[in-house]
Amino acid sequence: MAISSIDAGVVAPASPARGGAPRLVVVTNREPYLHRATTRGHTVLRRTPGGVVTALDPVLRLRGGVWVAWGSGERDWDEAPDGVVGIPPRHPRYRLHRVRLTPDEAQGYYREYSNASLWPLCHLALERARFYRHAWARYEAVNRKFAEAVLACAGPGDTVWSHDYHLALVPGLVRARRPSQRVTHFWHVPWPPATLFKLCPDREAILTGLLGADVLGFQTADDCRRFLESVEQLLGLPVDHETRVVAYGGRRVVVRAFPVSIDTPMVTGTARLPAAERITRALRRRVERAGLVLGVAVDRLDYSKGILPRLEALDMFFRRFPHRRGRVVLVQVVAPSRSDVPDYARLGAEVHEAVRTINARWGTLEWEPVVSLARPFGLPRLAALYRAADFLLVSSLMDGMNLVAKEFVAAQVDRRGVLLLSEAAGAIAELEDALPINPLDPEGFADTLEQAIRMPVAERRARLDRMQAHLAQYTVQEWAEQVLAAVEQ
C-alpha cells in the first residue's frame, strides 16, 4: 500500500531545544496528522485543519517533543499499530503519540459529554445541554487515558500543554501523579458565568482538574473573570482578582488571557497565489457585471454561529432597504459538522428552509439573495472568496474567538471589504475597526449592513490597515510563544 505525506511546517532540529528550553508535550483531542484512504485505495498522511495545529506543529518541530491526541483517522492504527508516528515521517522532528478509543469511549467522551454537555453549556445554549452519568464516566475514563499517555511521554522537566474542554481533567490527573510537572492548559471556548456553570453536576471535578495547571489560558479577559468567579463561588477558594491568581493545593495557579490568532503571512500569501487571484478576478467580474455587492459568511454548521439570526437579519435588510433588492448577494459557506448528532441535522434543515424562504420572497429570475454552499472549502478557495468580498458577516451568538474574522482581514489584500463582527465573538476585543453587530437585533443588524455598504473606500482601507497591522504583529506563532513563556519563566 503506497503511503504519501504532506510535509507542512518548519524543518528544524528537534533536540536539544533551542536555548535549552524543555521539550514540549502537546495534548489535544484532535490529532495534527491522520492516516486516511484515498479514492484509489492508497493511504495518505494528512495534516488536519485548525489554528492549534498551525500554531504548534512548527513549535514542536523546532523544540522537539511529543503530540498526544486521539487516533481517529480511518487508517491510523493500520499504519501505526503502536500508535507512534514520526512527524514528518522521513525526517522526524517530533513524535505523534495516538490514544486509542473504543467506539463506546468515543461516543460517551466526545459526542455525548464534550459536545452535548460542555459545548452547549459554554455557549449558553442551556436548552440543548444534558449531563448523563454514563457520559461523564466515559469522559473521566478517557481523560485518564490521556493523562497516562502524557506521563509515559513526558520527562519531569518537560512542559505539558493540554487543550480545551475535551481534556479538562488532564492537568489535575498529571499533577496528582507528578507534582513537579510543568503544566499549562488553554481553554478555547467561552467560559460561562458562575451562575450557569453551577448547572454542570461535575463542576467541582472540572474546576479542580483545570487547577492542576500552573498557567490557565483563556481567549479574553472576560473569560478569565468568569472562571475566577466560578472558582471563588463554587469551590470557595481564595482568588486574587487583580493579579488573576488562585491559591490551590499549596500552589499559585495563574489565569491569563491569550487570544488565539492566525498564521497571518500564510493567509495573506494564499490570497495572493495565482490560483486564488484567478478565482477572485472571476468572482469580481461576475458581481460587477451584474451590478452586485458581494457579501460572504463562512461557518461550521453550529447553533453557536448565529446562522439563522443572520438570515433573519438579511430578510429584515431587504424589507428596510428595498433599493438593495437585486443589488446585494450573500454567499454563505456552511461546512457540515457533527452530522450524526440530531440537533445538528435539524439545524441543517432549518438553515436550508430559511435560505429557500428568503430566495422565494425576494429573489427574481436573474437574482438570488442567498447562495448557500453546504460543503467545506480549502484555504485557497476561502482566501479568494474573502479577497473578493465587499463585506463579511460574522454573527456568532457566542464564540470564544472566531478566526474567520481574522482570516478575512488578512486576506483582504485589495482592501475593499468591511467586517461586520458579532459583539459576542472574542475577536471583537482585538478587531476594534470592525462594525459591531448584535445578532439578536435584526433591525440594528440590517442598519449596520447598510452602513457597511455605504462606507467610503478611504474609510474601508483605513479600518483594514489598522486591523491588518495588528494581525501582522500578533500571529498564531506569537500566541504560542506567549503561552509557553508564561509557564516556563
Q: How many of the other CB atoms lie within 10 Å of CB of 193?
A: 15
Mean pLDDT value across residues 386-403 = 97
Mean pLDDT value across residues 97-119 = 97
Q: Is pLDDT at 165 greater than 80 in this prediction?
A: yes
Closest CA to 94 of 60, 47, 71, 136: 60
What's the CA gap between 96 and 153, in Å, rounded? 10
Per-residue pLDDT at 338: 75
Closest CA to 77 of 29, 43, 48, 108: 43
Q: Are residues 183 and 283 in the same domain?
A: no
Q: Are residues 331 and 208 in the same domain?
A: no
Give the pLDDT confidence of 274-301 residue by residue, as tens digits. Answer: 999 999 999 999 999 999 999 999 999 9
Per the listing, cell 492508497 goes with 42
Give the pLDDT confidence of 180-225 residue by residue, as tens digits. Answer: 999 999 999 999 999 999 999 999 999 999 999 999 999 999 999 9
Q: Are residues 276 and 148 in the same domain?
A: no
| pLDDT tier, 21 (very low <50, low <70, confident <90, very high otherwise) | low
Q: Are residues 237 and 344 in the same domain?
A: no
What's the CA gap between 272 and 387, in Å, rounded? 9
Mean pLDDT value across residues 312-325 = 98
Per-residue pLDDT at 3: 26
What's the CA gap between 63 and 93, in Å, rounded? 8
Q: Are residues 248 and 386 in the same domain?
A: no
**Domain containing residue 460:** 264-473
Q: How many of the other CB atoms lie within 10 Å of CB of 316?
A: 18
Give the pLDDT confidence of 127-138 residue by residue, as tens digits. Answer: 999 999 999 999
Mean pLDDT value across residues 19-31 = 85
What's the CA gap between 379 and 384, in Å, rounded? 8
Per-residue pLDDT at 2: 29
- The whole-chain average pLDDT of the chain stands at 93
| pLDDT tier, 376 (very low <50, low <70, confident <90, very high otherwise) | confident
What percent of the chain has a predicted confidence (pLDDT) above 70? 95
Per-residue pLDDT at 375: 87
Q: Are residues 85 and 195 in the same domain?
A: yes
What's the CA gap between 16 and 19, in Å, rounded? 8
Q: Are residues 120 and 57 in the same domain?
A: yes
Closest CA to 351 of 332, 328, 377: 332
Q: Average the pLDDT over each of 55-64, 66-75, 112-121, 291-300 and give the range with the smallest value.
A: 55-64
What's the CA gap between 10 and 87, in Å, rounded? 11
Mean pLDDT value across residues 85-89 = 94
Closest CA to 446 of 352, 317, 265, 337: 317
| pLDDT tier, 4 (very low <50, low <70, confident <90, very high otherwise) | very low
| pLDDT tier, 17 (very low <50, low <70, confident <90, very high otherwise) | very low
Give the pLDDT confidence of 223-241 residue by residue, as tens digits. Answer: 999 999 999 999 999 999 9
What's the CA gap between 194 and 231, in Å, rounded? 8
Q: Are residues 40 and 128 in the same domain?
A: yes
Q: Is pLDDT at 1 greater than 60 in this prediction?
A: no
Is the whole model's pTM more than 0.85, yes or no?
A: yes
Per-residue pLDDT at 480: 93
Q: Answer yes or no: are the C-beta atoms of 234 and 204 closer than 8 Å.
A: yes
Per-residue pLDDT at 154: 95
| CATH, residue 452 | 3.40.50.2000
Per-residue pLDDT at 344: 86
Q: How many of the other CB atoms lie within 10 Å of CB of 468?
A: 19
As beta bridge partners, residue 209 has none
Q: Are residues 429 and 308 in the same domain?
A: yes
Q: Is pLDDT at 392 greater than 90 in this prediction?
A: yes
DSSP state of 433: T
Q: Is pLDDT at 355 greater than 70 in this prediction?
A: yes
| pLDDT tier, 38 (very low <50, low <70, confident <90, very high otherwise) | confident
What percent of the chain has a predicted confidence (pLDDT) above 90? 87
Q: Are residues 188 and 122 in the same domain?
A: yes
Q: Are residues 38 and 148 in the same domain?
A: yes
Q: Are residues 176 and 280 in the same domain?
A: no
Per-residue pLDDT at 20: 55
Per the listing, cell 468591511 goes with 418
Q: Is pLDDT at 49 greater than 70 in this prediction?
A: yes
Q: Is pLDDT at 397 greater than 60 in this prediction?
A: yes
Give the pLDDT confidence of 435-479 residue by residue, as tens digits. Answer: 999 999 999 999 999 999 999 999 999 999 999 999 999 999 999
Which backbone phi and psi does 170 adopt, to 5 degrees?
-60, -45
Domain count along the chain: 2
Q: Is 424 helix (H, G, I), strand (E, B) or coil?
A: coil
Q: Is pLDDT at 372 greater than 60 in this prediction?
A: yes
DSSP state of 193: P
